[in-house]
Amino acid sequence: MTYTNAAATTCGMDLDTERRRRHRHDQSVFHRLLQRHDAIRRELSRIDGGIRTVTTSADPEVAALLRDHVPAMHRRLQEGFRLRRWDPLYVAIFDYRDRIRMRVELRPDGVEVEQISDDPRVVQLIRAHGEAVNGFVASGHTAAGRAHPVPGRCPGSAA
């Protein structure tokens, strides 16, 4: 198994033309997945230091969207190319991205992902993110409009 460090590469935070294009593409894919959430199957398992997820679809279009979306999100995490800046959980994930290791395996019907960390606090973030994604799969756009709390933090706290 080969893991990559989520902070292995960094880029400036300016949304240059290429980043704007990527962001629009990523948004389009995400919204299409939210629309088709009922065609997605997702299994989440807790493993030492994090989670393993298998996210699939019998629909070839949705499977292709999953194979597009997950590596794109992995790349954004590696680069610090933030998304959902209004969501405290996603802010925290990007703040601690250098402590997250990911393995992404593409499958004909979707993706398998392992996310792990040696930092127990980051393990909590990884697991909370896994549950947030489960919510997207279960409820589509309804869940995507919700902010997610950071585990162990009192609601409304800045620390």
Is pLDDT of 104 > 50?
Answer: yes
Mean pLDDT of the chain: 90
Task: Using pLDDT thresholds of 50, 70 and 90, give the confidence band for residue 157.
Answer: low
Mean pLDDT on 85-111? 97
pLDDT at 117 over 50: yes
Write the burial class of residue 119 (CB in 10 Å: 0-12 exposed, 13-18 middle, 19+ buried).
Answer: middle
Q: Is the pLDDT of residue 76 over 60?
A: yes
For residue 136, pLDDT over 50 is answered with yes
128 touches 151 (CB < 8 A): yes
pLDDT at residue 152 is higher than 90? no
- The pLDDT tens digits for 4-19 are 444 433 444 455 889 9
pLDDT for 15 equals: 56
- The answer to whether the CB of 152 falls within 8 A of the CB of 121 is yes
Q: What is the pLDDT of residue 3?
A: 46
Boundaries of every domain in the chain: 17-143
Torsion over CA: 23, 145, 66, 58 (sign)? negative
Instruction: Fill in the amino acid letter for 107.
Output: R
Task: Please say if the pLDDT value at position 106 is more than 60.
Answer: yes
Q: What is the pLDDT of residue 137?
A: 97
pLDDT of residue 11: 45
| 3-class secondary-structure state, position 1 | coil
Between 155 and 146, residue with greater pLDDT: 146
Please say if the pLDDT value at position 93 is more than 80.
Answer: yes
In this predicted structure, the answer to whether residue 35 has a pLDDT above a threshold of 70 is: yes
Please state whether 44 falls in left (phi above 0), alpha (psi between -120 and 50) or beta: beta
Rounded to 5°, the CA angle 152-30-86 comes to 40
